[in-house]
Structure 1
Amino acid sequence: MVPTFGFIHIQFLLEGAIWTVILSVCAFLGGGLMGLLIALLRISPIPFVRRLAAWYIELVQGIPLLVLLFTGYFGLPAIGVPVSPLLAATISMTVWVGAYLGEFWRGSLEAVPKAQWEAAECLALTRWQRMFKVIVPQAVRNATPGTVGFMVQIIKNTSLASAVSFVDLTRAGQLINNSTFQPFVTFVAVAIIYFLLCFPLSVLSRRLERRMARGMAKA
């Protein structure tokens, strides 16, 4: 007898949603650190360093995330580095997030008015002091709305990790559908949970954008 979609399946989907959140947080933290490094390298005074960072961004953005996931999950064990599905997905998504956030944050750094850069130089600060005490704090304000919005893309793209046997929300839905043969009910439930995860971030991003626009108008 085929089981009917019920409470136990909803519980399993919620467990998958927890792992989706865990993977999203890991990818954002790891990708955020890499993105900050890439952004700083993109505005380096050394031409070769700038080109190297640009090549990394072009390479990663030119490869589908699914291919990166397959590379991490199947490629690392092939060279003797055993990885779990969670670790493979985290590494692959960190590389992907780092490329996109790096380019986005570079734009935020360069959007800081030139007068601020010149004023920091007049204070006789070192380059790193100018960057982290004057420029980065102002760039963070500009980058926050877009960064929060990009977190929605991170959550939705974690669904691709199901292709490497990571039991996230999407994979949980697939497993439930394989046992209940009720795809409509199952994936409507999956879609609702994704919406509940992403909608608050979308609202927060829009509010931050409006607040920043009001602040710029007052300035």
Structure 2
Amino acid sequence: MTPHFGLPEFGFLLRGLQWTVLLTLVAFVGGCTAGLAVALLRTCGHRSVEWITRIYIGIFQGTPLLLQLFVVYYGLALTGLKLDAFVAVAIGFTVNASAFLGEIWRGAIQAVPRGQTEAAMALGLHYSSRMRDIVLPQAIRISLPATIGYLVQLIKGTSLAAIVGFIELARAGQIVSNQTFQPLLVFGVVGAMYFILCWPLSWWGSRMEARLALASQR
């Protein structure tokens, strides 16, 4: 008898959803931390450092995320470093996120009026004080809509983790679909779960973007 979609299958999807949320949080927090470092190095004023970080960003923005996950999991295994699937995809997503968020925040830092930085320098504030007290608070506000937009893309992008056998929401949906032969129902539920995660963030990002646009017109 062919199994039907019921509570056990729905529970399996919920476990996949939990892994999707956990992977997203780990990658986003790690990406934010490393991305801030990338953005600061990208705007530090030293040409050699900026050139290196530009190459770093170019590599991870210019190659498919699927390939990066493949290299982290299978490539490192060839060198004798066998990583757990979750650890491997977390590293891959974190490094990828650091490149994208670093570039987003680099643009936000450079969007802060230069006169404020020059005034801070005239007052004798050191680089760390200028960034912490003047530039970064404004840059974070400017970059918030784009950062939220990237978070939404990150949530949906976690489906690529299945390349190394990691069972997140999309992969769980595929497994349940293969067992129940009800792909429309199963992936309808999966799509609804993604929507519940992503739509509030997209709405928040749109509101923030509208507020920034309104504030800039005043």
Q: TM-score, normalised by structure 2?
A: 0.97
Q: Is the counterpart of residue 157 in structure 1 residue 157 in structure 2?
A: yes
CA distance in 2, matches of 1:21, 1:122: 46
CA distance in 1, matches of 2:186, 2:138: 45
Question: 1:180: which partner in 2?
Answer: 180
Cα drift, residue 180 of structure 1: 1.1
Query: 1:56 corresponds to which letter in structure 2?
Result: Y
Structure-to-structure mapping, 1:34-113, within 5 angstroms: 34-113=34-113
CA distance in 2, matches of 1:5, 1:57: 44
Cα drift, residue 33 of structure 1: 1.1
Q: TM-score, normalised by structure 1?
A: 0.97
Gaps of 5+ in 1: none
CA distance in 2, matches of 1:195, 1:71: 30
Query: 1:16 corresponds to which letter in structure 2?
Result: G
CA distance in 2, matches of 1:14, 1:119: 53
Query: 1:8 corresponds to which letter in structure 2?
Result: P
Spell out, residue by residue over 1:54-87, the C-alpha distance to the aligned partner (whole angstroms, 9 max, x if none): 0001111111000111111111222122211111
Question: 1:23: which partner in 2?
Answer: 23
Cα drift, residue 111 of structure 1: 0.1
Query: 2:12 corresponds to which letter in structure 1?
Result: F
Q: Is the counterpart of residue 138 in structure 1 residue 158 in structure 2?
A: no
Q: Work out the percentage of aligned pairs sharing the same amino acid.
A: 45
Question: 1:211: which partner in 2?
Answer: 211
CA distance in 1, matches of 2:31, 2:208: 22
RMSD between superposed Cα atoms in Å: 1.0
CA distance in 2, matches of 1:32, 1:114: 24
Gaps of 5+ in 2: none
CA distance in 1, matches of 2:50, 2:114: 19
Cα drift, residue 184 of structure 1: 1.4
